Amino acid sequence: MPQSLCKIYLHIIFHVKATGPQIASEHIDRVHSYVGQLVNSTGCQVIRVGGVGDHIHIVCLLSKNENVAHLIEEVKRNSSRWIKTVDDGYSRFAWQGGYAAFSVSQSVVDKTVAYVSNQVEHHKKVTFHDEYIQFLKLYNVEYDERYIFAD
């Protein structure tokens, strides 16, 4: 029987919908932990989840039986439902409609994990908007800025 061998690292980024509440600092670790569990439940392997109140980063290994769109749909849908149960202030919580997902070379996985782990310090100097645009440019993703942050 033929084997399917693959090892695809992903760096996924998505933000909180502008009309909803941001994730409070006292809930961030719980949200990241839950998102990691959701990634693993799809058959993918979470490596690191990080971010701040207005967005999230996920570094994971994509399962050979999963696709990017379905992985993100499952994570966003189920985490959004769960976050609404954490506190009454999240009753209108929602993630943005879209997402960004980038492949990560094996040679920079550790650097990417360190970057995601250091989000609180990083965002003392760089806004999420600027960070997101930098990633799009780094990966040569064509985009129309009018629609990037439109929810």
CATH for 8-148 is 3.30.70.1290
The H-assigned helical ranges of 15-148 are: 25-41, 68-86, 109-117, 119-122, 128-138, 145-148
Which amino acid, 1?
M
In the block, residue with structure tokens 């760096």: 11
pTM of the model: 0.94
Q: What is the pLDDT of residue 1?
A: 65
- Mean pLDDT of each 10-residue bin along the chain, 151 residues long: 85 93 97 98 98 97 97 98 96 94 97 97 93 93 84 73
Q: What is the pLDDT of residue 94?
A: 96
Q: What is the pLDDT of residue 144?
A: 87
Q: What is the pLDDT of residue 31?
A: 98
Q: What is the pLDDT of residue 5?
A: 83
* Rounded Cα gap, residues 79 and 94, in angstroms: 9
Q: What is the pLDDT of residue 77?
A: 98
The token pair that represents 5 in the structure block: 């061998």
Domain boundaries, the chain: 8-148
Q: How many CB atoms lie within 10 A of CB 118?
A: 11
